[in-house]
């Protein structure tokens, strides 16, 4: 049930153009201060995992893990995605409560 909820909320955020996906864009968004929450697939490569979690730590952006990249992509109606940055405070807060 919870999975359904965060996935549809993520889809909503995507339609509202309040998120960005793809590793490089996500890192850029963290650096620029636009990212309010990062979702990282649990099956991301160690390299990606480290890069993104280090950035999140440094810029104090909350990081949540989701089961896998295909779920993450599916939620936003795209192909498998390893990382997604939520750009809206409201969506970010709600997603955090759903993913806790």
Instruction: Please spell the DSSP secondary structure of 24-57, one letter per residue.
Output: HHHHHHHHHT--SEEEEETTS-HHHHHHHHHHHH
- Structure pTM? 0.95
Note the CATH number of domain 2-99: 3.30.1330.30
Token digits of residue 87: 């750009």
Q: Is residue 1 scored above 80 in pLDDT?
A: no
Task: Report the SS3 class of residue 86.
Answer: strand
Containing H/E element for 97?
Answer: helix 89-99
pLDDT tens figures, 40-82: 999 999 999 999 999 999 999 999 999 999 999 999 999 999 9
């Amino acid at each position: 049930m919870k999975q359904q909820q965060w996935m549809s909320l993520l889809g909503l955020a995507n339609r509202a153009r309040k998120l960005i996906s793809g590793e490089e864009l996500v890192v850029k968004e963290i650096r620029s201060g636009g990212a309010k929450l990062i979702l990282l697939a649990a099956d991301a490569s160690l390299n990606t995992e480290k890069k993104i979690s280090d950035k999140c730590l440094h810029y104090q952006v909350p990081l949540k893990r989701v089961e896998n990249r295909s779920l993450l992509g599916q939620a936003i109606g795209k192909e498998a995605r390893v990382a997604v940055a939520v750009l809206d405070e409201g969506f970010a807060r709600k997603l955090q409560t759903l993913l806790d």
